[in-house]
Structure 1
Amino acid sequence: MIGVVLNVHDAVHGRLPAEFADQLIIEFMGRATDERVDSLKSRLSGSQGLWAIRRKGDPRPGGAPIPVTPEERQYFLTISPQGLFVQGATAVETPLAESVSGDMAAEGRRYARLSELVGAVRNLV
C-alpha cells in the first residue's frame, strides 16, 4: 500500500469527519517500491488538486457498506483513477488517468484552470 498525505484546503461537496478536516491519507493499492512512489510523487507535483474520494468502508452510491477493520477507516480512496485533477502547464490534468478517455477525466481536462473546474463542480451540487 502507498499512502499519500493530503492537507485539506476545502471540501467542495460533502463533509469530512472532524478528525480529517485538516489532513487525511489517500490509500493507493500496490507494493510501495521506490519507483512507484517516485512516479506517484512526480505525477502529483505537490500542487493543489481536486480529489473525488470516499472514506474506506463507506458504501458506494446505492451500495452496502464495505466491511473493513477499524484501522482501515483512517484511509480514503479515490472513487476511480479518474478521480484526481491537478493544474497542468496549460490545462487541468488527470495524473492517475493520463491516457484514459473516460467521461470524468475527459470532462475535467476541458478546463484551462483548476479553479474553473472546482467552480463547475460546486455548481453541480
Structure 2
Amino acid sequence: MDLFLYAHLVKLRSHRGKYLVAKEDTETVTQDQNGSSGRNAQWTVELVPDSDSTIRLKSCYNNYLTASGQPFLPLIRNGLKVLQSLPQSLDSSLEWHPIKEGTKLKLKTHNGNFLRAHRVFNSVTHDSTPLEM
C-alpha cells in the first residue's frame, strides 16, 4: 500500500485519540494517551514480500503485532486478543492489510477481522466490526 511504502516507523492513533502501545512485558498491547512521546508507541513497518497491500508491524521490543485466536475475555466471544509475539515463522497472524477510508485507516487481519481500540481497560482486540485506528 502506498501509505506505508516509504514509512519505516509509524505511530498509530485510534479514533479515541490514544496510541497503540507495546508494553514492556513484550507481550501486551494497549492504548495510551501519551504515546506521542514514548518509543513503545513506535512500530516498525515491514512490507510483506510478494504483496503490495500487506504489512507487518514490529514493536520496539522486536515482537510483531499479532492477531491471536484467544478470546480477550473468557466466555465472551466478542473480540480476540492482539499481542506482541515472536513466532518461529512469519505467518499470517502477523499480517495486516491497511484500508484507507478518507483520513482514517483500518487494519484488517488475514481472516477479515479488524484491529479495534476499546474503552474498557484501554484494550486492543481484533473483531469483525471495524473501528478506525
TM-score computed with the length of structure 2 as normaliser: 0.26
Q: Hey, which of these two has a bigger chunk of strand by percent? A: 2
Mark the structure with the bigger radius of gyration. 1
Q: Hey, which of these two has a bigger chunk of helix by percent? A: 1
